C-alpha cells in the first residue's frame, strides 16, 4: 500500500503495461480507498478517483481507458490538449489540474470538462469569456495554498472569501469546491494539517454563503497521501503513479521543489 514515505523514497508503484495491470492497480487503489473510508466512517462510493495520466504515453493511456478510466487528469495544458486530440475517439472527460496562465485559458475552455487549479480572477475572466463564446461551461475547483510558504500556487486561505464572492459573475464557471496539494514530506501529521486546512476553508465558506461553493467538494490526496486525505474528508483523490506506475520525471516540473526532510 503506498504511503507518504513511499512517495519520497522510491516507491513500489507497480507499472502498468497491460489492461490487466491497470485493472489490478485500480482494484488495489479502490481497496485502499474503501479501507480509508471505512476507518473514517465514510461511504467509499462517494469518493471520486481521478486518474492522472501526465507524462504517460498515449498507448498506455488507451489501456487505462479500456480498463475502465472514464476521466483523466493532466497537469499541463499542452500535453492535455494533445492527448485530448489524439484520443478523441475515446469517451473520456479531461480535467486540467495544474496551474494555468491566461494565455492557455482559451485552450482549456475548448476541451476541458473541469479545471481544478483556479486561483486568479484574471484566469476566471478569460476562461469565462471563451466559454461563453463556445456555449460551454466548466467545472472549477478553487486551489488553496495550505502549506504556506512551501508552495507558490493557490490562494491564501484568507483570500478565499473575497475570491468566491467575485466568481458568480463568471456564469460559465461552475464552482465544485476546493483543491490543494499537501506538503511533500514524510511527516504525516504535517500533511494531515494541510488537508484539515482545506476542510476548514470549505467549512467557513459554507457557513458564510453556501451558494458560492456549489457542492463544496474537497479535491485532495495523491498517490503518496490519499488515504490521509480521505480520512480528512477528501471527495476527490487525484492519483497518477498508483495507477500508471512510478513516474521518472521530477516532481518539481509540476510544483515548486518539494521539501525533503
Ligand atoms: C501529478 C499530480 C497528481 C498525482 O500525483 P501522483 O503522485 O502521480 O499520484 C495530483 N495532483 C496534481 C495537481 C498533479 O500534478
pLDDT number for residue 152: 75
pLDDT tier for residue 7 given thresholds of 50, 70 and 90 = very low
C-alpha cell at 215: 457542492
**Three-state DSSP class for 242?**
helix
- pLDDT above 90 coverage of the chain, percent: 86
**Three-state DSSP class for 161?**
helix
Q: Does the structure show a pLDDT above 80 at 11?
A: no
Question: In whole angstroms, what separates CA 213 from the centre of its chain?
Answer: 17
The model's pLDDT over 87-98, given as tens digits with 9 standing for 90+, comes to 999 999 999 999
Q: Which residues of 87-118 are buried (b: 16+ CB within 10 A; e: fewer)?
A: beebebebbbbbbbeeebbbbbbebbebbbbb
pLDDT tier for residue 252 given thresholds of 50, 70 and 90 = low
What number does the ligand 1 atom closest to the CA of 247 have?
Answer: 8
What number does the ligand 1 atom closest to the CA of 117 have?
Answer: 13
What number does the ligand 1 atom closest to the CA of 75 have?
Answer: 15
Q: Does the structure show a pLDDT above 90 at 245?
A: yes
d(CA 222, CA 180): 10
Determine the residue of 240, 249, 253, 258 to mutate for testing ligand 1's pocket, defined as the one with the most ligand atoms within 8 A of the Cβ atom.
Answer: 240
The model's pLDDT over 202-229, given as tens digits with 9 standing for 90+, comes to 999 999 999 999 999 999 999 999 999 9
Determine the residue of 4, 29, 54 to mutate for testing ligand 1's pocket, defined as the one with the most ligand atoms within 8 A of the Cβ atom.
Answer: 54
d(CA 33, CA 49): 9
Q: What is the mean pLDDT of the chain?
A: 92
pTM above 0.85, yes or no: yes
pLDDT tier for residue 1 given thresholds of 50, 70 and 90 = very low
Give the helix ranges, DSSP H, for 15-101: 19-39, 58-66, 77-86
Ligand 1 proximal residues by C-beta, below 6 Å: 52, 54, 75, 97-98, 181, 222-224, 238-242, 247, 254
The secondary element (H helix, E strand) that includes residue 73 is strand 71-74
The model's pLDDT over 152-199, given as tens digits with 9 standing for 90+, comes to 799 999 999 999 999 999 999 999 999 999 998 999 999 999 999 999
Angle at 229 between CA 81 and CA 232, to 5 degrees: 135
- Give residue 56 CA to ligand 1 midpoint distance, Å: 12
The model's pLDDT over 105-155, given as tens digits with 9 standing for 90+, comes to 999 999 999 999 999 999 999 999 999 999 999 999 999 999 986 677 999
Amino acid at each position: 500500500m503506498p504511503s507518504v514515505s513511499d512517495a519520497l523514497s522510491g516507491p513500489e508503484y507497480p507499472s502498468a503495461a497491460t489492461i490487466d495491470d491497470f485493472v489490478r492497480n485500480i482494484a488495489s487503489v479502490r481497496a485502499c480507498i474503501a479501507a480509508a473510508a471505512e476507518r473514517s466512517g465514510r461511504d467509499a462510493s462517494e469518493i471520486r478517483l481521478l486518474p492522472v495520466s501526465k507524462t504517460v504515453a498515449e498507448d498506455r493511456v488507451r489501456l487505462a481507458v479500456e480498463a475502465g478510466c472514464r476521466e483523466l487528469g493532466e497537469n499541463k495544458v499542452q500535453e492535455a490538449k494533445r492527448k485530448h486530440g489524439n484520443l478523441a475517439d475515446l469517451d473520456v472527460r479531461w480535467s486540467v489540474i495544474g496551474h494555468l496562465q491566461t494565455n492557455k485559458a482559451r485552450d482549456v475552455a475548448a476541451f476541458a470538462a473541469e479545471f481544478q487549479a483556479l486561483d486568479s480572477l484574471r484566469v476566471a475572466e478569460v476562461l469565462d469569456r471563451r466559454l461563453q463564446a463556445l456555449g460551454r461551461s466548466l467545472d472549477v475547483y478553487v486551489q488553496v495554498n495550505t502549506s504556506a510558504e512551501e508552495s507558490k500556487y493557490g490562494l491564501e486561505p484568507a483570500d478565499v472569501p473575497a475570491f468566491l464572492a467575485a466568481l458568480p459573475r463568471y456564469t460559465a464557471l461552475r464552482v465544485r469546491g476546493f483543491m490543494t496539494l499537501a506538503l511533500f514530506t514524510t511527516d504525516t501529521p504535517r500533511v494531515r494539517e494541510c488537508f484539515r486546512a482545506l476542510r476548514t476553508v470549505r467549512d467557513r465558506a459554507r457557513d458564510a454563503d453556501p451558494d458560492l461553493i456549489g457542492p463544496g467538494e474537497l479535491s485532495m490526496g495523491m498517490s503518496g497521501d490519499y488515504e490521509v486525505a480521505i480520512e480528512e474528508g477528501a471527495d476527490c483523490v487525484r492519483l497518477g503513479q498508483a495507477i500508471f506506475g512510478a513516474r521518472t520525471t521530477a516532481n518539481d516540473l509540476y510544483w515548486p521543489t518539494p521539501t525533503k526532510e
